[in-house]
Amino acid sequence: MALARSAFSLLQQFFIIKWGILARFFVFGLLIGLGLFVLLFYWSELIALAVGHPVAYDQQPWYLHWVKQGLVLLPWLMVLVLGLFDLYRRNISRSLGFAGGHFLVYVALFFYVFAWPTLRDYFNQQAFNPAIWQANAPFNVDEPPKRQMMVRDLLKNHLHLGISRQEVEILLGKPVAGKKVDGVDYIYLLGPERGFSGIDFEWLGLKFTHDKLQEVKIFTD
């Protein structure tokens, strides 16, 4: 915050900044960014609605690809034009506000894609419950799977190295049958891989030595 104030103070030494104009163009840039995001997100659906049938992305007319690229670049061309106009008048309120509002959309999208899955996982942690774990309810796309929500507490407070194979089965139930993974003896499905790029599944793997738990790991396949 202090750095931002220092930057604005430095800008005000060379340029005029009118906060009312800056705020209006900030909102304008934000609305343009949100509108373009919705438009591009539903691009294929809108094309299908326009022509009356679904059209694969690689089968869309060439000019639609250029239109789409133009829509992506349009806000930054607007920033450039506003910036040149503002520099001429030494009043950067318009370009600064518009760029800030539009950039906020990118910041929000970055947060949602990369930071939100981690935060959601952290705030959805639950105490381990053997009955819920062994019930292994179907995955709900609206919330993390129950096993993923409990696995942190399981590893920290319940699944200690050295416990017997029988004690593990009392806690977790029988492992997944028919699936072999090198380096582990028991595996339990946790749920879909967490994170933005998750396309696999997460598993809990256990290795025993002389029927005593020797190693615990979480892996994806």
Q: Give the pLDDT of residue 111.
A: 86
Give 103-125 pLDDT, tens digit per residue: 999 999 888 877 777 777 778 88
Q: Give the pLDDT of residue 165.
A: 93
SS3 104: helix
Last residue of a domain, one of 61, 87, 121: 121
Give 71-100 pLDDT, tens digit per residue: 989 999 999 999 898 888 888 889 989 999
Strand order across the beta sheet in which 212-220 lies:
186-192, 201-209, 212-220
Last residue of a domain, one of 54, 88, 121: 121
Regarding whether 158 and 111 lie in a shared domain, the answer is no
Query: Based on C-alpha coordinates, what's the Rg of the chain?
Result: 27
- Would you state the structure tokens that stand for residue 47, as one six-digit string? 């094309």
- Residue 5 scores a pLDDT above 90: no
Are the C-beta atoms of 190 and 145 separated by less than 8 Å?
Answer: yes
Give 25-74 pLDDT, tens digit per residue: 999 999 999 999 999 888 888 888 887 888 787 788 888 889 889 998 99
Regarding whether 141 and 208 lie in a shared domain, the answer is yes
Element of type H or E holding 170: helix 165-172
Regarding whether 152 and 97 lie in a shared domain, the answer is no
Whether this prediction's pTM lies above 0.85 is answered by: no
Regarding whether 85 and 67 lie in a shared domain, the answer is yes
What value does the mean pLDDT of the chain take? Answer: 85
- Would you state the structure tokens that stand for residue 102, as one six-digit string? 């539009």
Q: Give the pLDDT of residue 52.
A: 83
Domain that holds residue 199: 130-220
d(CA 138, CA 178): 20
Residues 6+ apart with CB under 8 A from 81: none
Question: Count of domains in the chain?
Answer: 2
Regarding whether 111 and 8 lie in a shared domain, the answer is yes
Last residue of a domain, one of 99, 121, 143: 121
85: left (phi over 0), alpha (psi -120 to 50) or beta: alpha
**Which residue in the block uniquely carries the two structure tokens 């590893």?**
155
